Amino acid sequence: MEILSYILIFIIGSLFGSFYSLAIYRIPIKQSIMHGRSYCPNCNHKLGFFDLIPIFSYIFLGGKCRYCEQKIRKRYILLEISTGLVFVAFLMSLNLNIPYVKPYEILYLVFGILCISVLYIIGGIEKEKHYISNSTLLVGVLFQFVHIIYLYMLNVNVYKYVIYLFFMLICILVNTIFLKKKARRSYTAEILTLCFYIATFVREELIIISIILTLFLIAIKINIISKKDNKENILINKNNANIPIGFYLCFTNIIMLVIQNFIF
Ligand SMILES: [Zn+2]
């Protein structure tokens, strides 16, 4: 029975993963993520039902589009497998007594999944397009707001979460003013907004660990970039200067969100 529910949650997770792929592709080009069937980005052919089954469609089609034979990027299947696994790990971390789940436990599961979804989409867009999606962050603010009300109803002391939300709104305001005046976004304000968003869902101790991990990943990335540059004898390569800090923050905090329930 338990194994069946884990298989089911893995499938649900991989379906979410395939939705994240769609969102990561569509949000930057301002297409609706709710309407319109998925299509092949190469030949624009609408995908059939069997092309939409996560993981299996990739394996059966041999990693190629059925219509134009363009190779499908490995990123898609990796995203689907990883969300499936993250969902299973998250469910295991909650240690639910499955037939007798309490309503507040279901709500916690829903909030966790929403938080993971926002992190996946922001991280994915940052990795692909090198910017932090403000519209996704705003959806995050909304979840955060509802989450605070939920915690308040559970008699949890919410003052620090209200402060985080307040700071997050200030950062968004700063970014908006910056955007209007300089026609450029403030990356610092965006990264801070992301941090305040994460702080509502992940414990402070673990956020510190995630920041250390993020710095570690940035150091590795810089090391790789400088080695590459030495090989190619390029002193300044602006394209390589993009270090997706937001992506690393999202990645490490998804892990923290899962392990926090195992530890505490
Ligand atoms: Zn195609």
Please, what is the end-to-end C-alpha distance for the chain in angstroms?
26
pLDDT number for residue 53: 87
CA of 27 to the centre of ligand 1 (A): 20
Three-class SS of residue 258? helix
CA of 121 to the centre of ligand 1 (A): 23
CA of 141 to the centre of ligand 1 (A): 36
CA of 199 to the centre of ligand 1 (A): 41
CA of 58 to the centre of ligand 1 (A): 13
- For 110-167, the pLDDT digits (tens) are 999 999 999 999 999 999 998 899 899 999 999 999 999 999 999 999 999 999 999 9
CA of 53 to the centre of ligand 1 (A): 16
Instruction: Please spell the DSSP secondary structure of 64-79, one letter per residue.
Output: B-TTT-PBPPHHHHHH
CA of 41 to the centre of ligand 1 (A): 7
pLDDT number for residue 51: 85
What does pTM read for this prediction? 0.91
CA of 128 to the centre of ligand 1 (A): 20
CA of 38 to the centre of ligand 1 (A): 11
Structure tokens at 138: 């705003």
* Positions in the chain short of pLDDT 70: 1, 231-241
Tokens 């299996």 locate to 56
Q: Which residues surround ligand 1, an ion (CB under 5 A)?
A: 40, 42-43, 65, 67-68, 70
SS3 content of the chain, % helix, strand, coil (to 5): 75, 0, 25
d(CA 185, CA 97) in angstroms, rounded, equals 46
Chain Cα centroid distance, residue 213: 17
The chain-wide mean pLDDT, for the chain, equals 89
The neighbour count for residue 255, using CB atoms within 10 Å, is 16
CA of 171 to the centre of ligand 1 (A): 41
d(CA 200, CA 165) in angstroms, rounded, equals 8
Tokens 């279901």 locate to 106
- State the helix-helix crossing angle for 204-232 and 187-201, rounded to 10 degrees: 140
